[in-house]
Amino acid sequence: GTESIFLAMKSIRDWARAERRGGDRPEVLVPYSAHPAFSKAGHLLDLQVTRVPIGPDLRADTSATRAAVGPNTVALVGSAPTFPHGVVDPIEGLATLALGHDLWLHVDACVGGYVLPFVRRLGYPVPAFDFSVAGVRSMSADTHKYGFAAKGASTVLYADPRWHAFQIYDFDDWSYGRYSAPTLAGTRPGGAVAAAWAVMRYLGVEGYTRIVADIMRTRDALAAGIAALPGLHVNGTPEGPILTFSAERLDTLALAAALRARGWYALTGARPACIHLGMLTAVHVPIVERWLADLKDAMHEVESGQTVASGAGPGYGG
């Protein structure tokens, strides 16, 4: 996923150079919730990545983004969904803004690209986020997430071949002749690509739909169980398989520690302080009731002072 995002950012930079836009350091506006890979790519590609505050619904704020557009802005980013909160940014609103200013719009669908279409197929509300939205120029989507392929395999997609052309590195000033490469690695292993092809051929549309139905039933059961516990609430309105929840009176890190003591892998997020259930898969179907029971016991343990926060704070790497 990081390389897919990097290559999209490289395309943005080279397009801006070709169009003589963005000055010495073209600017890309991303929501505060956007993946760190955008900032990493900006650092390596000499792009100014500016994080724009998100709204109270945890989604990209189109009004704040509009106000942030400046003379050096060349691109906007939205997520489908965001990794921190699992909500889909208002891609249609961002696309309208991008078209009005002739800006590149990239959609980070690394998590959702291979699951949200099936969520929608099951009848859940999923806002438009892909090339059906005029103004979206590129997308990143990980086959090694909800495509269920082996690590690491991802895709970067373009609405038009002319945008893809900016991704390619082309060189001819050496003894052998022309060298052309569309990705960072000149030679890469084909195993993950072959696995992605094989699993898609094996599952097909019906197979993915069946698996995603199990995932969404699990998500709904977890969300309902969490909401039924006093003092807990799900953050935002997640459309897909990522779920986060916060506690009104309890220390989130202590609650996570109590869950870990019971054998659960409990990730924590920082803003807002939360426990992050991501990413849910069909293997979680049989453990929902046991996990909710352990969560209830963990809450009582933290309330009584038996468990306090321990270990590192919220973090993520990969």
CA angle 97, 99, 104 (to 5 degrees): 90
Number of domains in the chain: 2
Least confident of 208-217, 237-246, 302-311: 302-311
Last-in-domain residue among 164, 192, 220 = 192
Q: Which two tokens stand for residue 161?
A: 């071949």
Q: What is the pLDDT of residue 309?
A: 67
Q: Say what the pLDDT of residue 186 is.
A: 76
> What does the pLDDT average to over 26-42?
97
pLDDT of residue 304: 87
Parallel/antiparallel/unpaired status of strands 243-247 and 274-277: antiparallel
Residue 38 token pair: 């955008």
Give 283's pLDDT tier (boundaries 50, 70, 90): confident
Q: What interhelical angle do 252-261 and 288-303 show, nearest 10?
A: 120
Model confidence band, residue 289 (pLDDT cutoffs 50, 70, 90):
very high
Q: How confident is the model at residue 67 (pLDDT cuts 50, 70, 90)?
A: very high
How confident is the model at residue 153, as a pLDDT? Answer: 82
Q: Are residues 239 and 173 in the same domain?
A: no
CA 244/CA 94 separation, integer angstroms: 24
Q: Is the pLDDT assigned to residue 22 strictly greater than 70?
A: yes
Q: Residue 226 region, left (φ>0) first, then alpha (ψ -120 to 50), else beta? A: alpha
Mean per-residue pLDDT over the chain, rounded: 93
Q: Are 255 and 299 in contact (CB under 8 A)?
A: yes
Q: What is the mean pLDDT of residues 242-268?
A: 93
Stretch among 133-137, 169-173, 207-211 having the lowest mean pLDDT:
169-173
Relative to beta strand 179-181, strand 169-171 is: antiparallel
Question: Tell me: the pLDDT tens digits for 228-247?
Answer: 999 999 999 999 999 999 99
The residue assigned the tokens 């309105």 is: 237
- pLDDT the model gives residue 316: 56
Tell me, yes or no, whether 313 lies in a domain: no
Question: Are 216 and 172 contained in the same domain?
Answer: no
Which percentage of the chain shows pLDDT scores above 70? 96
Nearest to 199 by CA among 211, 213, 214: 211
Percentage of the chain beyond pLDDT 90 is 79
Domain membership of residue 7 (yes or no) is: yes
Q: What is the pLDDT of residue 187?
A: 76
Burial class (CB in 10 A: 0-12, 13-18, 19+), 50: middle
191 Rama class: left (phi>0) / alpha (psi -120 to 50) / beta: alpha
The token duo for 165 is 């052309």
Asked if 114 and 145 touch (Cβ cutoff 8 Å), the reply is yes
Instruction: State how far the Cα of 216 lies from the Cα of 163, in Å rounded to an integer.
Output: 35
Residue at 312 is within a domain: no
**82 pLDDT more than 90:** yes
Residue 154 shares a structural domain with residue 100: yes
The amino acid occupying position 151 is K
| pLDDT band with cut points at 50, 70 and 90 for residue 314 | low
The 3-state secondary structure of 99-118, one letter per residue:
HHHCCEEEEECCCCCCCHHH
- Confirm whether 315 is domain-assigned: no
CB of 122 closer than 8 Å to CB of 212: yes
What is the reported pTM? 0.92
pLDDT tens string 140-154 = 999 889 888 888 788
- 172 and 247 inside one domain: no
What average pLDDT does range 270-297 have in this prediction? Answer: 92
How far from each other are the two terminal CA atoms of the chain, in whole angstroms? 9
At 282 the pLDDT is 85
What is the reported pLDDT for 264? 93
Residue 314 belongs to some domain of the structure: no
Expressed as residue numbers, the domain containing 240 is 206-303
Lowest-confidence range among 24-28, 127-131, 146-150, 194-198? 146-150
For residues 18 and 65, membership in a common domain is answered with yes
Residue 285 covered by a domain: yes
